[in-house]
Structure 1
């Protein structure tokens, strides 16, 4: 498995919310208390997206917006349209905080709006990425990343908007995988032109990308620099120098950091004993694991687990 796929698989929560809006202006919706990552795609027409109280950004048909690390954002037909409603915790409120029933706006499963001719059609998906692995994914993105519509992305968006309005067995699983697909397409397009962390840039480097894949495929293995170099067909010295230059860390330093990232999430999300967590990330000696963990997080695994819960 490639490194980006590994990060996404480890980081995502088991559920994802997908909803469709089909509405003709004027309209404006604010999403509050949003998850760590939202995916907003304009399928027909255009819309304006504003983070918190920031500058509005126009989304044309086919555009995909990735939103991270914000408290709220607003989608509207026009920047001048005043705020109408706030969605918080799945409940609709007026801007004054009064609950509002979803009357007359339910067009199909997971689909809201008026459905009138000339309406804008949008799909919104939301994830809550987990722990330190999720943080690595979010580090790839600014608060708002907009990917322009392309012919390559359109079939995935069309399929997502078709499926979001259906209700059949396994529908949530289908939507989750389609949303994953759209997310990966958008991430790949954004990362092709953005200034990214050194480890991501190294994924496409000959030999180094393969080495990163080996480390992510089997982080518990007792890797040595010599073994990694042999795996990718480079001399030990050449591999170590190239890895350090491209990734920004020596190979085994990167491996330790990745092991600690995995361990931090295991301590938060499982009840496995510290010794079992240590073995899962490559440490036979729980004491050595605790020393390495404390060096990274400034507290013991037990304290980290207690504080996280």
Structure 2
């Protein structure tokens, strides 16, 4: 499994929701207390997204086929037909508060589909994700507060299929919608992470660097292995000295420091989600000595493994 797929699997997206808006301009909706990640896709007509906590960024237009990924940590945001339309409704915790008499239509046009459905309407897909644990935080760390991915042929086809399924109500519909929304998310993340101008943490960008990317994949695939820099260098066909310098330059930290950081992500979720002892968790992430593991974990998370479990455990 590649690194991004593994991270998505470990993040275990939950509480996914998807709705469709078919609304003639002018329309505008403000969202308070957003989920961990929101996926917005423009299908037809004008649309824009604006982060209210980041006014200097300004509204970002969405062309047909564009996908916007909004991090929950970015705070409140507005979806509208254009930057000049003031918010008409406020969505907070699933409740709609009308702010303007000419508010967005609440008329149901079908399952999970709302608006007026009139000619010239904007069609927009809105999906919400919750992520769990340290892996979810790690995944969200790949993204800025707002990432907009231009429409592509592959993603456009997936969006059309998701829109069609959103308006259906058949057995197994939720499972179909969840998987299609996952597909759209993966396509958007992949497109974002491969953009040459994307502002990424060093390690995802380094996945495309020869030898370094392969080493990262090896470390993530076998985090409990007792890796050495010499073994990693041999596996990717480099001398130890050249490999260590290349990895550190590309990732921003030495190979074993990167391995330790990934182990702490895995350990945090094992402590949160399982009843395994601290010693057992230590062994699962590559530490034979529970004391050494506890020291490394406290350095990374600011709490001992036992205290972390008490504070964050399910």
TM norm structure 2: 0.90
- Which of 214, 221, 224 is the matching residue for 2:218? 214
Q: What number of residue pairs does the alignment pair up?
A: 305
Deviation by residue 1:89-110 (Cα, 9 ceiling, x = unmatched):
22222249xxx9x996211111
- Which of 146, 149, 152 is the matching residue for 1:150? 152
Deviation by residue 1:26-84 (Cα, 9 ceiling, x = unmatched):
22211211012111000011112221263222212111111112222111223333322
Three-state SS of the structure 1 residue aligned to 2:154 is coil
Matched, 1:56 2:59: yes
Give the structure 2 partner of residue 272 of structure 1: 276
Shift of 1:234: 2.2
- CA-based RMSD: 2.2
Any unmatched runs of 5+ in structure 1? none
Moved more, 299-308 or 182-191: 182-191
Give the structure 1 partner of residue 37 of structure 2: 37
Over 3 Å counting, the alpha-carbon distance change for 1:115 and 1:263 in structure 2 is same
- How far, CA to CA, are the matches of 1:95 and 1:303 in structure 2? 45
Any unmatched runs of 5+ in structure 2? none
Give the structure 1 partner of residue 69 of structure 2: 66
Matched, 1:109 2:111: yes
- How far, CA to CA, are the matches of 2:45 and 2:106 in structure 1? 22
- Which of 255, 258, 273 is the matching residue for 1:254? 258
Given that 1:15 and 1:176 are in contact with CA atoms closer than 8 Å, whether structure 2 keeps it comes out as no
Over 3 Å counting, the alpha-carbon distance change for 1:232 and 1:63 in structure 2 is same
Matched, 1:87 2:95: no
Moved more, 144-153 or 87-96: 87-96
**1:1-309 maps to which residues of 2 (within 5 A)?**
1-52=1-52, 54=55, 55-68=58-71, 69-95=73-99, 105-191=107-193, 192=195, 193-309=197-313
- How far, CA to CA, are the matches of 2:307 and 2:106 in structure 1? 51
Structure 1 segments, 4+ long, off by >3 Å, are: none
Moved more, 268-277 or 105-114: 268-277
Over 3 Å counting, the alpha-carbon distance change for 1:134 and 1:104 in structure 2 is closer
Shift of 1:153: 2.3
Given that 2:14 and 2:129 are in contact with CA atoms closer than 8 Å, whether structure 1 keeps it comes out as no
Over 3 Å counting, the alpha-carbon distance change for 1:273 and 1:147 in structure 2 is same
Moved more, 145-154 or 294-303: 145-154
